[in-house]
Amino acid sequence: MHINDAVFLEDLCPKFRLRQWRKSIHKFTGKSCIYCGKPSESIDHVIPQSQGGLSITENCVPACLSCNGDKSDENALYWYRRQKFYDPRRAMAIRAWLEGDLRLAIRLLQWANPNFKVKNKNYLKDESEYKAA
């Protein structure tokens, strides 16, 4: 799909836009939970909405239902540090994600999980082209 078509469809149908957005978030991590690496079944707010966290890509990460439910209303970075499956590379990835550096976040997640495959290669390609320009 051409990028201009996507913008057009988004304007036409906000629900389509939301669905595509949620899909793209899961694709960034190869549909795995950013915290523990299990299949991601939900979108988690790193900074909870109750603490002013926004529903934007930088604050929304793919998470399994177990992590999402257990974390509840806590700040993800504090919560994550106490988990048995804590991995500093994933913690760095979450931080990079929060800062909007998805490219770095994905690289860190790949480092933490060598089996992890990025299915959204177009995104990475687009960004490298953007950086080269």
36 vs 105, which CB is nearer to Zn ion? Answer: 36
Q: What is the DSSP letter of 86?
A: -
Of 39, 57, 35, 46, residue with least CA distance to 112? 35
Cβ within 8 Å of residue 34, ≥6 positions away? 40, 44, 61, 62, 63, 90, 93, 94, 97, 105, 109
Residues numbered 81-120 forming contacts with Zn ion, rule: CB under 5 A: none
Shortest Å, Cβ 41 to Zn ion: 9
Residues numbered 24-53 forming contacts with Zn ion, rule: CB under 5 A: 33, 35-36, 38
Task: State residue 45 phi and psi, 5-degree precision.
Answer: -85, 115
User: How many residues sit close enough to Zn ion to count as binding (CB under 5 A)?
Assistant: 6
Beta bridge mates, 60:
45
53 vs 87, which CB is nearer to Zn ion? Answer: 87
Q: In 10 A of CB 126, how many CB atoms?
A: 12
Among the listed residues 67, 91, 96, 105, the single contact to Zn ion using CB under 5 A: 67
Binding of residue 64 to Zn ion (CB under 5 A): yes
27 vs 38, which CB is nearer to Zn ion? Answer: 38
Report the DSSP pairing between strands 60-63 and 42-45: antiparallel
Shortest Å, Cβ 10 to Zn ion: 29
36 vs 96, which CB is nearer to Zn ion? Answer: 36
Q: Which stretch binds Zn ion (CB under 5 A): 2-10, 48-56, 58-66, 119-127?
A: 58-66
Query: Contact positions toward Zn ion, by CB under 5 A?
Result: 33, 35-36, 38, 64, 67
